[in-house]
Amino acid sequence: MARRPPRKFSRSLRVNEVVRQALADELERMSDPRLEMVTITGVEVSPDLRHAVVFYGALDKPDVAPALSSAAPRLRATLGREVRMKYVPALHFREDPAIDAGQRIEKILRDLHEQEPS
Protein backbone atom coordinates (compact mmCIF):
# COMPACT_ATOMS: atom_id res chain seq x y z
CA MET A 1 0.00 0.00 0.00
CA ALA A 2 1.48 3.33 -1.06
CA ARG A 3 1.88 6.01 1.56
CA ARG A 4 0.86 9.57 0.93
CA PRO A 5 3.59 12.18 1.15
CA PRO A 6 3.22 14.38 4.25
CA ARG A 7 1.26 17.56 3.65
CA LYS A 8 2.99 20.85 4.16
CA PHE A 9 0.01 22.57 5.78
CA SER A 10 -2.44 21.36 8.38
CA ARG A 11 -6.04 20.70 7.48
CA SER A 12 -7.27 23.73 9.44
CA LEU A 13 -4.92 26.07 7.55
CA ARG A 14 -6.14 24.69 4.22
CA VAL A 15 -9.80 25.04 5.26
CA ASN A 16 -9.18 28.61 6.44
CA GLU A 17 -7.58 29.55 3.12
CA VAL A 18 -10.28 27.91 0.99
CA VAL A 19 -13.02 29.70 2.95
CA ARG A 20 -11.13 33.02 2.77
CA GLN A 21 -10.75 32.73 -0.99
CA ALA A 22 -14.41 31.81 -1.56
CA LEU A 23 -15.61 34.73 0.59
CA ALA A 24 -13.21 37.18 -1.07
CA ASP A 25 -14.34 36.12 -4.55
CA GLU A 26 -18.02 36.51 -3.62
CA LEU A 27 -17.37 39.87 -1.99
CA GLU A 28 -15.88 41.12 -5.27
CA ARG A 29 -19.03 40.06 -7.13
CA MET A 30 -21.36 41.89 -4.75
CA SER A 31 -22.73 45.28 -5.75
CA ASP A 32 -23.14 46.82 -2.27
CA PRO A 33 -21.26 50.17 -2.35
CA ARG A 34 -20.50 49.84 1.37
CA LEU A 35 -18.33 46.80 0.57
CA GLU A 36 -16.33 48.26 -2.34
CA MET A 37 -13.03 48.77 -0.51
CA VAL A 38 -13.29 45.79 1.86
CA THR A 39 -10.68 43.04 1.82
CA ILE A 40 -10.97 39.67 3.54
CA THR A 41 -7.57 39.33 5.22
CA GLY A 42 -8.03 36.03 7.02
CA VAL A 43 -10.42 33.40 8.31
CA GLU A 44 -10.28 31.17 11.37
CA VAL A 45 -12.71 28.27 11.15
CA SER A 46 -13.44 26.48 14.42
CA PRO A 47 -12.30 22.84 14.66
CA ASP A 48 -15.92 21.63 14.51
CA LEU A 49 -16.48 23.75 11.32
CA ARG A 50 -19.58 25.41 12.78
CA HIS A 51 -18.18 28.93 13.21
CA ALA A 52 -15.76 31.09 11.28
CA VAL A 53 -14.23 34.40 12.34
CA VAL A 54 -13.69 36.46 9.20
CA PHE A 55 -11.10 39.23 9.48
CA TYR A 56 -11.44 42.19 7.14
CA GLY A 57 -9.77 45.45 6.33
CA ALA A 58 -11.55 48.55 5.06
CA LEU A 59 -10.42 52.00 4.06
CA ASP A 60 -12.29 54.60 6.13
CA LYS A 61 -15.67 52.94 5.76
CA PRO A 62 -17.65 53.26 9.02
CA ASP A 63 -20.62 51.18 7.86
CA VAL A 64 -18.71 48.04 6.85
CA ALA A 65 -19.69 45.89 9.86
CA PRO A 66 -23.47 46.23 9.27
CA ALA A 67 -22.96 45.68 5.53
CA LEU A 68 -21.03 42.48 6.15
CA SER A 69 -23.66 41.28 8.62
CA SER A 70 -26.40 41.84 6.05
CA ALA A 71 -24.30 40.04 3.41
CA ALA A 72 -23.67 37.02 5.68
CA PRO A 73 -26.57 34.88 4.37
CA ARG A 74 -25.38 35.32 0.77
CA LEU A 75 -21.77 34.62 1.76
CA ARG A 76 -22.81 31.46 3.65
CA ALA A 77 -24.85 30.30 0.64
CA THR A 78 -21.76 30.75 -1.53
CA LEU A 79 -19.71 28.67 0.90
CA GLY A 80 -22.36 25.97 0.79
CA ARG A 81 -22.16 25.83 -3.00
CA GLU A 82 -18.43 26.24 -3.53
CA VAL A 83 -16.70 24.65 -0.54
CA ARG A 84 -17.21 21.03 0.33
CA MET A 85 -17.51 20.96 4.12
CA LYS A 86 -19.49 18.97 6.65
CA TYR A 87 -21.15 22.18 7.91
CA VAL A 88 -21.47 25.69 6.53
CA PRO A 89 -20.04 27.81 9.33
CA ALA A 90 -21.79 30.77 10.90
CA LEU A 91 -19.80 33.88 9.96
CA HIS A 92 -18.56 36.34 12.57
CA PHE A 93 -16.85 39.45 11.20
CA ARG A 94 -14.02 41.30 12.94
CA GLU A 95 -11.84 44.13 11.76
CA ASP A 96 -8.28 42.90 11.32
CA PRO A 97 -6.17 44.35 14.16
CA ALA A 98 -2.97 43.86 12.15
CA ILE A 99 -3.98 46.63 9.75
CA ASP A 100 -4.23 49.23 12.53
CA ALA A 101 -0.94 48.03 14.01
CA GLY A 102 0.75 48.31 10.62
CA GLN A 103 -0.57 51.84 10.13
CA ARG A 104 0.70 52.85 13.58
CA ILE A 105 4.16 51.48 12.80
CA GLU A 106 4.18 53.24 9.44
CA LYS A 107 3.28 56.55 11.11
CA ILE A 108 6.05 56.11 13.69
CA LEU A 109 8.58 55.44 10.93
CA ARG A 110 7.43 58.50 8.96
CA ASP A 111 7.71 60.66 12.09
CA LEU A 112 11.22 59.35 12.72
CA HIS A 113 12.29 60.17 9.16
CA GLU A 114 10.88 63.69 9.49
CA GLN A 115 12.85 64.23 12.71
CA GLU A 116 16.18 63.09 11.23
CA PRO A 117 18.69 65.93 10.77
CA SER A 118 19.44 66.47 7.09
Tell me the CATH number at 97. Answer: 3.30.300.20
- Is residue 97 exposed (0-12), middle (13-18) or buried (19+ Cβ within 10 Å)? exposed
DSSP bridge partners of 54: 43, 93
- Is residue 64 exposed (0-12), middle (13-18) or buried (19+ Cβ within 10 Å)? buried
DSSP bridge partners of 43: 54
Q: Number of folded domains in the chain?
A: 1
**Does 5 fall in a domain?**
no
Task: Give per-residue pLDDT as tens, 93-111.
Answer: 999 888 778 778 888 888 8
Task: Give per-residue pLDDT as tens, 6-47.
Answer: 555 688 899 999 999 999 999 999 999 999 889 999 999 999
pTM above 0.75, yes or no: yes
Q: Count of CB atoms within 10 A of residue 37's CB?
A: 12
Q: How does residue 3 score in pLDDT terms, banded at 50, 70 and 90?
A: low
Domain that holds residue 34: 11-115
**Does 96 fall in a domain?**
yes
Determine the Cα–Cα distance for residues 52 and 17; give it in Å rounded to an integer. 12
